[in-house]
């Protein structure tokens, strides 16, 4: 249906969107024997087929810079006044990863750079904060980059829900892809469903609790959205949920529809959700970037979306959720990179289980003050590399 954005005096939203991911992938059928599982458990039970795996010299910064580079290569660096890096797998407890990205993609010094954290949710907060900056001064552009590597303990039930990826978005006035509605709904509840203490590289998780916490939080965010003047659930054309595994989006959509008394036929479910799950099914959980991979997947795989109202349902364990909506702008197709995006996913090098396990065991965090990552095996092939650590300082370079 053709809809009008519920906007302030000036439309604000997503003007460009691009992604990067790990240079490697593993098919979940390849890890199933080690975990004693039938591959159907992953393909059907979790709705996951593959996971992206980073090369030894790739990390959240190199992926973020690779995604952001596509945006500045097209739009230039002019008028970008802010970079917000959303992540829960940051590489430093003090310095913002945004500062490294700022340098790698060649932004001028008159830019503010900052990092944000709240599990998988913070990219949505970044999008809202970016929109506020632009609404205050419509001449300014904000670069939002969400980037994460999802790591759980090997051989745990959560291992098949790992993944890696980054999505960069340019937030501007008069956006050419998605004009964001002003109403949005938010929800916070202190809950220990997933967390990663400072001393660990892998997250800790209460898997079953996390599923019910996710659904309750998104439902709460929708109720708040409605109370703030957002449209009825039935007036939203498509849904892009946070996807720790794609079946999670279906679980949430089914439960919320049932709670609202909405009949969800298989055809309607296919229409509302399926196109937003294609990329995540191949990438795995990319934490902060996941809901926005959902948006990219929808934009790239369904034609003629102009005028449709899209919901982003964002959830970050711990927990915070937000439901926001936007309307697809006429002519948005000119801003997409659909063929290039499909080629990036296809070109990842496929791993066998043995090589993948060996790569997962290398955590460079353990290497202390000095390491030469670039000298190791299984390097990435993106435009930027993490060369290693010198005197405790991480070194990045264009490849």
Q: Which of 119/298 has CB closer to ligand HMG?
A: 119
- Is the peptide bond between 257 and the residue preceding it cis, with omega within 30 degrees of 0? no
Give yes or no: 253 in active site. no
How far is Cα 198 from Cα 191, in angstroms, rounded to an integer? 18
Q: Which of 194/384 has CB closer to ligand HMG?
A: 194
Q: Is 133 left (phi over 0), alpha (psi -120 to 50) or beta?
A: alpha
Report the nearest approach of ligand HMG to the CB of residue 238 (Å): 20
How far is Cα 251 from Cα 200, in angstroms, rounded to an integer? 30
Catalytic member of 49, 58, 88, 308: 88
Report the nearest approach of ligand HMG to the CB of residue 161 (Å): 4
Sign of CA dihedral 114, 128, 87, 343: negative
Q: In this structure, what token pair is assigned to residue 207?
A: 């898997």
HSE-up of 43 (CA within 13 Å, CB side)? 7
| Nearby residues of 146 by Cβ (< 8 Å), 6 or more positions away | 64, 86, 87, 122, 123, 126, 166, 167, 168, 286, 287, 288, 289, 292
Q: In this structure, what token pair is assigned to residue 355?
A: 């090589």
Per residue in 309-321, is it b (16+ CB within 10 Å) or e — as a string?
Answer: bbbbbbbbbbbbb
3-state secondary structure of 209: helix
Report the nearest approach of ligand HMG to the CB of residue 194 (Å): 5
Q: Which of 71/289 has CB closer to ligand HMG?
A: 289
| Nearby residues of 383 by Cβ (< 8 Å), 6 or more positions away | 65, 66, 69, 398, 399
Q: In this structure, what token pair is assigned to residue 254?
A: 């089914």
Q: Which of 24/241 has CB closer to ligand HMG?
A: 241
Report the nearest approach of ligand HMG to the CB of residue 285 (Å): 5
Report the nearest approach of ligand HMG to the CB of residue 119 (Å): 3
Q: Which of 177/249 has CB closer to ligand HMG?
A: 249
Give yes or no: 357 in active site. no
How far is Cα 399 from Cα 390, in angstroms, rounded to an integer? 18
Give phi and psi for 219, each to the nearest 5.
-60, -45
Report the nearest approach of ligand HMG to the CB of residue 18 (Å): 22
How far is Cα 314 from Cα 128, in angstroms, rounded to an integer? 12
Q: Cβ(163)–Cβ(284) under 8 Å? A: yes
Q: Which of 6/296 has CB closer to ligand HMG?
A: 296
Q: Cβ(168)–Cβ(143) under 8 Å? A: yes
Catalytic member of 58, 115, 240, 242: 242
Catalytic member of 49, 58, 102, 120: 120
Q: Which of 280/335 has CB closer to ligand HMG?
A: 280
Q: Which of 113/314 has CB closer to ligand HMG?
A: 314
Question: Which residues of this protein are in contact with ligand HMG, per CB under 6 A?
Answer: 38, 40-41, 44-46, 88, 119-120, 157-158, 161, 194, 205, 207-208, 210-211, 214, 242, 244-245, 248, 285, 287, 315-317
Report the nearest approach of ligand HMG to the CB of residue 350 (Å): 22
Closest chain position to ligand HMG (CB): 45
Report the nearest approach of ligand HMG to the CB of residue 201 (Å): 14
Catalytic positions, please?
88, 120, 242
């Amino acid at each position: 249906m053709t809809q009008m954005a519920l906007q302030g005096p000036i439309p604000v939203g997503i003007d460009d969107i691009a992604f990067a991911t790990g240079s490697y992938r593993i098919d979940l059928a390849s890890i199933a024997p080690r975990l004693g599982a039938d591959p159907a458990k992953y393909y059907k039970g979790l709705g996951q087929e593959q996971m992206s795996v980073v090369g030894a010299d790739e990390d959240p910064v190199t992926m973020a810079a690779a995604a952001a580079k596509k945006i500045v290569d097209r739009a230039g660096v002019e008028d970008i006044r802010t970079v917000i890096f959303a992540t829960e797998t940051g590489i430093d407890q003090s310095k913002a990863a945004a500062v490294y990205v700022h340098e790698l993609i060649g932004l001028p010094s008159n830019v503010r750079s900052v990092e944000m954290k709240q599990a998988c949710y913070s990219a949505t907060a970044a999008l809202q904060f970016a929109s506020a900056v632009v609404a205050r001064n419509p001449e300014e552009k904000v670069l939002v980059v969400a980037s994460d590597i999802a790591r759980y303990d090997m051989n745990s039930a959560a291992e098949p829900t790992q993944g890696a990826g980054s999505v960069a978005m340019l937030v501007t006035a008069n956006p050419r892809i998605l004009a964001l509605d002003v109403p949005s709904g938010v929800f916070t509840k202190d809950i220990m469903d997933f967390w990663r203490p400072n001393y660990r590289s892998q997250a800790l998780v209460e898997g079953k609790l996390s599923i019910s916490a996710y659904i309750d939080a998104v439902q709460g965010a929708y109720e708040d959205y409605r109370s703030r003047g957002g449209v009825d659930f039935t007036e939203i054309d498509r849904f892009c949920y946070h996807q720790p595994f794609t079946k999670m989006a279906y679980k949430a959509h089914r439960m919320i529809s049932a709670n609202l008394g909405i009949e969800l036929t298989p055809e309607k479910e296919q229409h509302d959700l399926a196109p937003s799950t294609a990329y995540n099914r191949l990438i795995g959980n990319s934490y902060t970037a996941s809901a926005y991979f959902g948006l990219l997947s929808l934009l790239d795989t369904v034609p003629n979306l102009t005028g449709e109202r899209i919901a982003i349902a964002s959830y970050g364990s711990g927990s915070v959720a937000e439901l926001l909506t936007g309307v697809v702008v006429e002519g948005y197709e000119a801003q997409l990179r659909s063929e290039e995006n499909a080629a990036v996913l296809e070109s990842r090098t496929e791993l066998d289980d043995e090589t993948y396990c060996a790569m997962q065991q290398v955590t460079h965090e353990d290497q202390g003050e000095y390491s030469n990552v670039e000298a190791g095996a299984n390097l990435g092939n993106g435009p930027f590399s993490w060369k290693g650590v010198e005197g405790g300082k991480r070194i990045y370079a264009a490849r």
